[in-house]
A and B are shown apart, each in its own frame.
Chain A
Amino acid sequence: MATAILEQFINGTMMGSIYVLMALGMVLIYGVMHVLNFAHGVLFMVGGYIAHLFFFNLSGSYPVAILCSMVTLALIGMVLERLVFRSLRDNLRMQIVASLGLILIVQNGVVQLWGPHALQMRPASVDSLVRVGQLSFTVQHFVIIGVVVAAVTTLYLFLRYTRLGTAMRATSQHPEAAVVVGIDPNRVYTITFMIACALAGLGGALLGPLFLIFPQMGDAPMLKALSAIIIGGMGSVPGAIVGGLGIGILESMSTLVIPTDYRDTVVFGVLILMLLVRPWGIFGVRVRGEN
């Protein structure tokens, strides 16, 4: 029994790390721009495909493929922010419509370009195994956890200690005041979007080799990440981390008692419960007037 729990705990931490990457991207976009980007899942998926492309067509080096994927996604993010989301900034309903449009275009576009079947990518880290007691995991499991820890730390340092990071935090708290201090909100929005997309791409590039790369691979993670930022508290970076990890571990542990088919339902059930009991999340701030 203990080994089963440990196995699911490590699996859960690994998946949780992926959710953290997605959740961080979404919480940055929401916190700084107040945009709910449902298309984040397809960006995650594109990250996997681009990594695959660079891995096979360029170097055979997995780290290089990951980096190229992140850069590509950042560029895509820049284009999307400028062309699509900038003009819809205060219009929640049309943001959702635009996100849905993007999902349709990207998901079906990928099918056109790469076909509907899943792709495989097997860098060394997926083939080699690591022993933990009686269990064995791929190296990739721990690569994922390690890379995400590094990414989160880098992001934290960036937000806390760099000028651009401070500008992002300022804009998220009070856009008008930020302008007065000389921050260009458009530049902040673009950078925020680019960082968020790069994180999504990183997630796809990390997860893809472990399972498979296919057009729908980002759908469930996006919803789990969305659940994570709500449970953690909209606009809260620590909330996204706690939420993401929490959901990953909860999800994996739940398979010990409930059939795997209902794994997603467990997560959504917790989400709905959270929304009913404490809608502003674990780290969120209760808005005055909400009783």
Chain B
Amino acid sequence: MKATIVALVLLVAGALAPVIFAGQPYALYVLTLALCYAIPAIGLNLLYGYTGLVSLGHMGFAGVGAYTTAVLMKDVGLPFVPSLLAGAAAAGFVGLVVGIPCLRLRSHFFIVVTLAVGMILFTLFNNLDGLTGGAEGLPGIPRPQGFAIGPLEVEFRSLTGFYLLAFTVTTLIFAFQYVLVRSDFGRSLSSVRQDETLAAARGVNVFGHKLMAFVLSAAIAGVGGAMKVLFLRAAAPLSFELQESINLVLMLILGGAGYLIGPIIGAVIFVGLPEFLRIASEMRLIFFGFVLLLLARFAPRGVCGLAEAAYKKRFDREEAVGIAHS
């Protein structure tokens, strides 16, 4: 399908980014940051795009993963991979604790709960000084240890090195999303989004599926949060406040919720476009505010949705022409 081709193109372009942006370290920096947002956006996509649940506090889960990984790597000295997995597990666990009581609620109420949970988590990050460093956060987070494969030296302290790590992690998370979505589990999630009552009547344990989606999306957000603080070498509560959660939703809607590559496109546009257009940081959010309004009104399926619609128009026209000629 055409979507697979686009995904492959992105994969190749992403892998070659250090080469493409060889003389422009700032561009690579922006791209790396974009990937650190793309990961939680993929998590949100699983929850919102495929299961239909809105979460307005999702960066809170990213924060749980971020602080867990940071503390394990900085204070305990654990290597990268176990720390990252622990961060994902911690975030997933918080998702479980929140999800079990709250997913039974009707959609309006659930959305408000996610908002409240996000704010509670932020308050905790800001005030549990012993654990999280409070408002100042945790500086001095080490980069993952490099290693050698034969003569090849792989390190993550340089921009290029970390970019490739972030790219690899993003690709793995994307692949995970792909497998989930294309599986029978993904089909059940989709049925929950389209018609819960019907899904239940056809044998889907709606609550169980929602919980699973919620936990997985929280864990993925945790991975994203961890990557972000590893990149910036510091964890601070402001990285995970309400505005950041709103930005995450924005990115996903912009790219296209319910499309596999939607979150990645959205993150890249959100983080990269203002840099590219040299929009000052204050105007950037106003700009995206208008973008959101336009999206809500005219293009709720985002960039991917617009692309799909445009493609269908051309494809249908060609088919009609073909019939006329035959």
Q: Is A234's beta carbon under 8 Å from chain B?
A: yes
A224 to chain B: closest CB distance in Å? 11
Q: Which residues of A contact B246 (CB under 8 A)?
A: 100, 103-104
Q: Is A265's beta carbon under 8 Å from chain B?
A: yes
Q: Enumerate B126-161 residues with CB–CB distance to A below 8 Å.
A: 126-127
* Residue contacts A-B, CB under 8 angstroms, 18 given: A84-B296, A97-B292, A97-B296, A97-B300, A98-B293, A98-B296, A100-B250, A100-B289, A104-B285, A106-B289, A112-B282, A223-B116, A264-B119, A265-B119, A265-B123, A268-B120, A271-B113, A275-B102
Contact with A101, one of B113, B293, B300 (Cβ below 8 angstroms): B293
Say yes or no: A101 contacts B290, CB within 8 Å.
yes
Say yes or no: A279 contacts B296, CB within 8 Å.
no
Contact with B286, one of A104, A223, A259, A265 (Cβ below 8 angstroms): A104
Q: Is A276's beta carbon under 8 Å from chain B?
A: yes
Q: Enumerate B276-321 residues with CB–CB distance to A below 8 Å.
A: 282-283, 285-286, 288-293, 295-297, 300
Q: With CB as the reference atom, state the residue of chain A lying closest to B288.
A: A104
Q: Is B11's beta carbon under 8 Å from chain A?
A: no
Q: Is B253's beta carbon under 8 Å from chain A?
A: yes
Q: Which residues of A contact B101 (CB under 8 A)?
A: 272, 276
User: How far, in angstroms, from A259 to B113 measured CA to CA in the complex?
Assistant: 23
Q: State whether A109 and B286 are in contact (beta carbons under 8 Å apart), knowing that A87-B297, A96-B111, A268-B119 are contacts in the complex.
A: yes
User: How far, in angstroms, from A96 to B296 measured CA to CA in the complex?
Assistant: 9
Q: State whether A105 and B116 are in contact (beta carbons under 8 Å apart), knowing that A261-B126, A262-B123 are contacts in the complex.
A: no
B282 to chain A: closest CB distance in Å? 6
User: How far, in angstroms, from A35 to B276 measured CA to CA in the complex?
Assistant: 36
Q: Is A131's beta carbon under 8 Å from chain B?
A: no
User: How far, in angstroms, from A158 to B107 measured CA to CA in the complex?
Assistant: 32
Q: Is A269's beta carbon under 8 Å from chain B?
A: yes
A124 to chain B: closest CB distance in Å? 35
The size of the chain B interface, using a CB distance under 8 A, is 40
Judged by DSSP, the binding face of A is: helix
Q: Which residues of B contact A112 (CB under 8 A)?
A: 282-283, 286
Q: Which residues of B contact A104 (CB under 8 A)?
A: 246, 250, 285-286, 288-289, 292
Q: Which residues of A contact B249 (CB under 8 A)?
A: 97, 100
Contact with A275, one of B113, B120, B290 (Cβ below 8 angstroms): B113
Q: Is A125's beta carbon under 8 Å from chain B?
A: no
Q: Which residues of B contact A261 (CB under 8 A)?
A: 123, 126-127
Say yes or no: B289 contacts A271, CB within 8 Å.
no
Contact with B289, one of A108, A223, A230 (Cβ below 8 angstroms): A108
B residues sitting closer than 8 Å to A (CB atoms) are 54, 56, 101-102, 105-109, 111-113, 115-117, 119-120, 123-124, 126-127, 242, 246, 249-250, 253, 282-283, 285-286, 288-293, 295-297, 300
Q: Is A159's beta carbon under 8 Å from chain B?
A: no
Q: Which residues of A contact B54 (CB under 8 A)?
A: 93, 96
A residues sitting closer than 8 Å to B (CB atoms) are 36, 84, 87-88, 91-98, 100-109, 111-112, 219, 223, 226-227, 230, 234, 259, 261-262, 264-265, 268-269, 271-272, 275-276, 279, 290
Say yes or no: B112 contacts A108, CB within 8 Å.
no
User: How far, in angstroms, from A107 to B243 measured CA to CA in the complex?
Assistant: 11
Q: With CB as the reference atom, state the residue of chain A lying closest to B250.
A: A100
User: How far, in angstroms, from A264 to B296 measured CA to CA in the complex?
Assistant: 31
User: How far, in angstroms, from A195 to B257 measured CA to CA in the complex?
Assistant: 34
Q: With CB as the reference atom, state the residue of chain A lying closest to B286.
A: A108
A14 to chain B: closest CB distance in Å? 23
Q: Which residues of A contact B107 (CB under 8 A)?
A: 92
Say yes or no: A271 contacts B112, CB within 8 Å.
yes
Say yes or no: A98 contacts B297, CB within 8 Å.
yes
User: How far, in angstroms, from A109 to B296 measured CA to CA in the complex?
Assistant: 20
Most buried by B among A88, A96, A107, A227: A96
